[in-house]
Amino acid sequence: MPYGFTTIYWRDMIRFVRFKTLLVSSLLQPALWLAFFGIAMSSSFDKLITGLPVVPGVHMIGYLTFMGAGIIAMTTLFTSLFGGIVILFDKNWGLMREILASPMNRNHIIFGIGLSGVTKSFIQAIIIMVFGILIGAAFFSGFTAVQTVVGVFGILAFVGMFALGFLFLSAAIAISMESPEGLQGVITLLTMPIFFASNALYPIDSFPAFLKILSVYNPMTLLITGIRYFAIGPDFIALGKHYQYTQSDILMAYFGLVVFATLTFGLAYWRFRKAVVT
């Protein structure tokens, strides 16, 4: 049955559009982050960095543009880590029994949840990009039309792979847990280091060595690197730091995300094989 995951996807999307408050808040929340945190931070940061040396010929970007990429990543992280919670609800309300007693392969549950999470993340990423540009983030500035299209697809490719990795992780945790409170605890515990040990809000170069190593291999950093490459360009200055990315940097970052998603899928696969829901 090769299309079983579309059934899971269909149902999860029904729930997404049917819970109006959830729908509106999940679309509004990233925009609010950008509006309040972004504008507040950038107005003070941009003042601080005036007077820092400028490299001639290199495009200098404001803080809003810099952290806009971080907000896309953060939103994707939150949405994905919570994406598996539906599995826990289904389990606790007995709905998972119908699915597990059906002939459908259990991998399709994982893929279905993954696909619907990716869809939600795409919608959110696009909203942030559009809203960011509206309030003054210099995404795709100086790009040709073709470069912009490539940029958007590049960002979505990174967002999608990153989202899958964390959705699989979330599904693996959810199928193993008993209570939504426990799941919430674990997820909160995970989001902190993943978000702050990354280049979302500040450069990681001045981190102490230990934190720096963590940050370099953090999937969050890989994602943000990809987003900045496709939204801003391979060569820019932000917060007084000169960023330069080569194509192989970007390929390696993407490869890192693929490895991460493969590992978390393996974890989810194992947890779903083990799951007994009666």
Partner 1 sequence: MPETQQKHGEIIISVENLEHSYKDFKAVDGISFSVKKGEIFSFLGPNGAGKSTAINILITLLAKQKGTASVAGFDVTRDPQKVRESIGIVFQDITLDRDMTVWEILEFHGRLYNMPFEQRRKRIEELLNLVELAAKRDERTKHLSGGMKRRLEIARGLMTRPKVLFLDEPTIGLDPQTRLRMWEYIKGVNSEGTTIFLTTHYMDEADQLSDRISIIDHGRIVISGKPWELKNTLGRDLIYLETNNNEAAVRFLKDLPSIRNMKVKSKGFVLMVNEDGSKVLPLIIDTLRNAGIEISTINLKKPSMDDVFVFYTGREIRDEGHAKTSFRRAGGR
- Reduce the DSSP state of residue 200 to 3 states and report it: coil
Q: Does 22 interact with partner 1 (rule: CB under 8 A)?
A: no
Q: Which residues contact 118 (CB under 8 A, 6 or more apart)?
A: 159, 160, 163, 164, 167
Instruction: Provide the angle, in degrees to the nearest 10, between the axes of the packed helices 20-32 and 4-18.
Output: 80
Q: Which of 13, 27, 95, 126 binds partner 1 (CB under 8 A)?
A: 95
Q: Which of 98, 144, 205, 206 binds partner 1 (CB under 8 A)?
A: 98
Q: How far is the CB of 245 from partner 1 (least distance, A)?
A: 44
Q: Does 205 interact with partner 1 (rule: CB under 8 A)?
A: no
Q: How far is the CB of 110 from partner 1 (least distance, A)?
A: 15
Q: How far is the CB of 167 from partner 1 (least distance, A)?
A: 20
Q: How far is the CB of 92 from partner 1 (least distance, A)?
A: 11
- Which span sits near partner 1 by CB under 8 A: 8-16, 69-77, 185-193, 262-270? 8-16
Q: Does 210 interact with partner 1 (rule: CB under 8 A)?
A: no
Inter-residue contact 52 to 240 (CB < 8 Å): yes
The C-alpha atoms of residue 206 and residue 203 are separated, in whole angstroms, by: 7
Q: How far is the CB of 55 from partner 1 (least distance, A)?
A: 55
Inter-residue contact 120 to 83 (CB < 8 Å): yes
Q: Does 276 interact with partner 1 (rule: CB under 8 A)?
A: yes
* Burial class for 107, CB neighbours closer than 10 Å (0-12, 13-18, 19+): middle
Nearest CB to partner 1, comparing residues 93 and 210: 93
Nearest CB to partner 1, comparing residues 1 and 213: 1
Q: Does 112 interact with partner 1 (rule: CB under 8 A)?
A: no
Q: Does 97 interact with partner 1 (rule: CB under 8 A)?
A: yes
* Burial class for 23, CB neighbours closer than 10 Å (0-12, 13-18, 19+): middle
Q: Does 101 interact with partner 1 (rule: CB under 8 A)?
A: yes
Q: Does 39 interact with partner 1 (rule: CB under 8 A)?
A: no
Q: What is the DSSP string of 108-174?
A: HHHHHHHHHHHHHHHHHHHHHHHHHHHTT--TTTT--HHHHHHHHHHHHHHHHHHHHHHHHHHHHHH
DSSP letter, residue 276: -
Binding site for partner 1 (CB under 8 A): 1, 4, 6-7, 10-11, 14-15, 18-19, 93-95, 97-104, 276-278
